[in-house]
Chain A
Amino acid sequence: MRITQGTFSHLPDLSDEEIAQQVQYALGNGWPLSIEFTDDPHPRNNYWDMWGLPMFDLADAAGVLYELNQCRAAYPDRYIRINAYDASLGRQTTALSFIVNRPAEEPGFRLDRLPGPDRRVQYVAHGYASDRPAGQRYTSPG
């Protein structure tokens, strides 16, 4: 099951050239960019691992692409996203965030029903990938 999180996630995966254009758009708005990666696909997983520090004072998207390719080389089987942060007063939030790399196989989620008191049922989205220990998810077994 394809994870859809962040901007453009319902589109086909962006090519590097399209990524560069989006990054350039962010730079044109004065938003610094950062790269993050994770192997926990749960939508409520807000805390992805940072790949290096956020990149300030860039002029060209090539710098971000350079780091992205380094990150891809190190973690080819993880989700990688690019965040653009708008620091202007009144916004001060992530302005753009999109996935730029995903594992070859995404097993998706199982729906768990947790019976509670009074016949209430809690629903839990359980990622199949998270059954395995962190760092070993998505790598081919063996």
Chain B
Amino acid sequence: MSEPDQQLLPDDAVVDLGAERAESGIEEVLAALDRDLVGLRPVKTRIAEIAALLLVDRVRTRFGLSTSRPNLHMCFTGSPGTGKTTVALRMAELLKRLDYLKRGHLVAVTRDDLVGQYVGHTAPKTKEVLKRAMGGVLFIDEAYYLYRAENERDYGQEAIEILLQVMENQREDLVVILAGYKDRMDSFFSSNPGMASRIAHHIDFPDYSLSELEAIGELMLAQEGYRFTPQAQQTFRDYLKRRRDQPRFANARSVRNALERARLRHANRLVSMSGVGLGKDDLMRLEPEDFLASRVFADPTGADADPTGADPS
């Protein structure tokens, strides 16, 4: 929708980008992004760049300079638990603040939501999802499942074609973000060159370093109203060090799971301490034994990791 006709600025006018920035309220979103998400330097840089581009475009239109609408379809690649969905949510919010999107909601889907089960089922299903996402961001998790090379009659191809068509024609209504593992996304793009060429931003989410994981854990605990004792902090670091070398480590998600289990043990410990009065501090404090009971500490080699792939309890 076009803005109400503004008076164009004269050629020699000067615009304060800082004021423009403050007015749009993106500062808040970027600051929240910085505060709530640990690490992810390349991701944050790219988001700041996109925000700057849209801001400059906005000012350019005020001078009557033509600006083509930038293509903002994106691809997020990275290991599980590196914050792809969270960043997508923030991205939707940011694009709304910059007037690129009208609503700024996020519709997260997987293959099941797009691909039908019989002939003629796929197109309406895909279109319905696309219509729901219009005005916001369509987040397709594990997008490479859409294309199954081994089965040429798979309906995923049909979903991809509709997706491509809408990504091209309804660019002002919708931003599509594909997400998944890096290597599998790469092979997905190589077999769907049309998709690759329509996606301008490929953002890679790096794995977290040990200290970043620790910071994430502390952030999560602070949000839930818990805290470590200094010894527990050390134990938690040991835990992460061991857990990281075990199979199926899912970055921030594993940290969350570890903390959930520590909370369980913490609660159990408090309940078993019957007869002792509990203060507020007791309810907040996590002790080393809440972590030491984990199976991660049982075997230093991690050889007995759970073959089912669940995080070890």
Contact = CB atoms under 8 A, between A and B. Distances in A.
B132 A62 contact: no
A55 B124 CA distance: 11
A140 B34 CA distance: 62
B167 to A, nearest CB: 13
Contact of B134 (A17, A53, A58): A58
Interface residues of A, number: 15
B89 to A, nearest CB: 14
B238 to A, nearest CB: 46
A13 to B, nearest CB: 19
Contacts, number: 46
A62 B124 contact: no
Contacts of B124: 52-53
Interface string A18-49: 00100000000000000000000000000000
A15 to B, nearest CB: 11
Contact of B132 (A17, A53, A61, A63): A63
A52 B170 CA distance: 19
A57 interface: yes
Contacts of B174: 62
A86 interface: no
Contacts of A66: 130-131, 134, 166, 170, 173
B173 A59 contact: no
A62 to B, nearest CB: 4
A57 B131 CA distance: 9
A106 interface: no
Give the interface size class of chain B. 10 to 19
Contacts of B166: 66
Contact of B135 (A17, A55, A60): A60
Instruction: Indicate the member of B103, B105, B136 with the most A CB atoms within 10 Å.
Output: B103
A59 B136 contact: yes
A53 B124 CA distance: 9
Main secondary structure of the interface of B (DSSP, over half): loop
A60 B134 contact: yes
A20 B105 CA distance: 18
Q: Which of A57, A62, A66 has the most CB of B within 10 A?
A: A62
B128 A60 contact: no
Nearest to A63: B131
B102 interface: yes
A59 B131 CA distance: 9
A62 B166 CA distance: 12
B1 A60 contact: no
Contacts of A58: 131-132, 134
Contacts of A60: 102-103, 134-136, 173
A61 B172 CA distance: 12
Interface in B136-193: 136, 166, 170, 173-174
Interface of B: 1, 102-103, 105, 124, 128, 130-136, 166, 170, 173-174
20 contacts: A52-B124, A55-B128, A57-B132, A58-B134, A59-B105, A59-B133, A59-B135, A60-B102, A60-B103, A60-B134, A61-B135, A62-B102, A62-B135, A62-B170, A62-B174, A63-B131, A63-B134, A63-B135, A64-B131, A66-B173
